[in-house]
Amino acid sequence: MDDNLVGYLLNALDERTKADVERYLAEHAEARARLALLKRALEPLAADKVSAVPPLALAERTLAKIAEFGSVSQSPVDLPRAPSASPSMLSIEIPRWRRPDMLIAVCLLVTVVGIGLIVLGKMRGPTSAATLTGCQDNLRQFYLAMQQYRDHNGHFPDVSKEEPRDVAGMVVPILHDAGVLPSSVSIRCPGMGAPLPSQVSLKSLRGMSDGEFEHYAPSLSLCYAYSLGYRDQAGKLRGPGDHRRESWSQTPLMADCPPLEELLLNSINHGGTGQNVLFADGHVKFLPQRTIGDGDDIFINRDGIVAAGLDASDIVLGYSGARPRIVVEQGIPNR
């Protein structure tokens, strides 16, 4: 898969392999972390991407030189023959690598490569201004779609109403089927690769088996997290924005998705330096930490679980496959 990650970054994969890699990235946080590291390691190569200007009339002068050599009448100069290998030379035994030698070589290789990647990463900033701006513009396009949806329906998309397909990523097909999501909006953060529009419909998702949907769910919103809503005093699930509008400027609605495996880390969309956050009033802000206000973690609720907030002030933005309701599988709560 690492070879495919390099091919993915260089846009050298066929469409089928590219789709397989994107599904794998959506399901494996460690693969996304490796992809981000490889991307940062390859970025310095762009500085040397300069087209060399050939000398004037290079082709004509080259052909003339070839013709000149072809017309020389004198016999070519005899070159001395290479010495023949003696039997003793042929019988030399190349020493075999011992196990300790191989282990030392592997350790040295890993160390050198690791140091090289760190140095290359430090040669460039942790994330570029262009990457941040591109991602923020993409989030603003999402907001325009959600605003149109809200104006028509009276509320922002509420994924909890899509049970049993109630995952955060359903916000994308909800907007798509409502006809408010432009094809220019990408479910992939611009810093993670080429734009990737979503064309999946609610009908096709509802027609999938549970197993098929669980496999597809992580790629619905791919690089972005969306609000899982909150529970009111009666324990009923409420969608995002179902409270006073004057607090919308402090209410996160969407953001770069968190890493799936390490719940306390920043999003990998920008090298772990932070995350762009879209608020319910439409403004986007880059936060170098996962918390807002008095320390509310925007990716988990106050119980430390990826699920709906415990009340209106407990904001939770879930990655694509996260659900508002707590689901227990083999004794492990929804993450």
Question: Residue 158 pLDDT > 80, yes or no?
Answer: yes
303 belongs to a structural domain:
yes
pLDDT for 121: 39
pLDDT for 212: 92
Q: What are phi and psi of 49, to 5 degrees?
A: -80, 75
37 belongs to a structural domain:
no
State the pTM of this model: 0.61
Question: Residue 120 pLDDT > 50, yes or no?
Answer: no
- Of the listed ranges 117-126, 167-176, 209-218, the one predicted with least confidence: 117-126
The whole-number average pLDDT for the span 320-335 is 65
Residue that is written with structure tokens 């066929």 in the block: 14
Q: Based on the structure, what is the number of domains in the chain? A: 1
Q: Which domain holds residue 242?
A: 141-318
pLDDT tens digits for range 232-268: 999 999 999 765 666 888 899 999 999 876 667 899 8
Reported confidence tier of residue 323, pLDDT bands at 50, 70, 90: very high
169 belongs to a structural domain:
yes
In this structure, what token pair is assigned to residue 43?
A: 């970025």
131 belongs to a structural domain:
no
The whole-number average pLDDT for the span 294-317 is 93
The conformational region for residue 154 under phi > 0 = left, psi -120 to 50 = alpha, else beta, is left
The whole-number average pLDDT for the span 133-156 is 94
279 belongs to a structural domain:
yes
Where does the chain show beta strands of DSSP type E? 224-227, 230-231, 237-238, 252-256, 275-279, 284-287, 291-292, 296-297, 317-318
pLDDT for 330: 37
334 belongs to a structural domain:
no
Per the CB < 8 A criterion, the answer to whether 267 and 188 are in contact is no
pLDDT tens digits for range 183-213: 889 999 887 888 898 878 999 999 999 999 9
43 belongs to a structural domain:
no
47 belongs to a structural domain:
no
Question: How distant, in Å, are the alpha carbons of 62, 117, 136, 296 from that of 190?
Answer: 45, 22, 9, 27
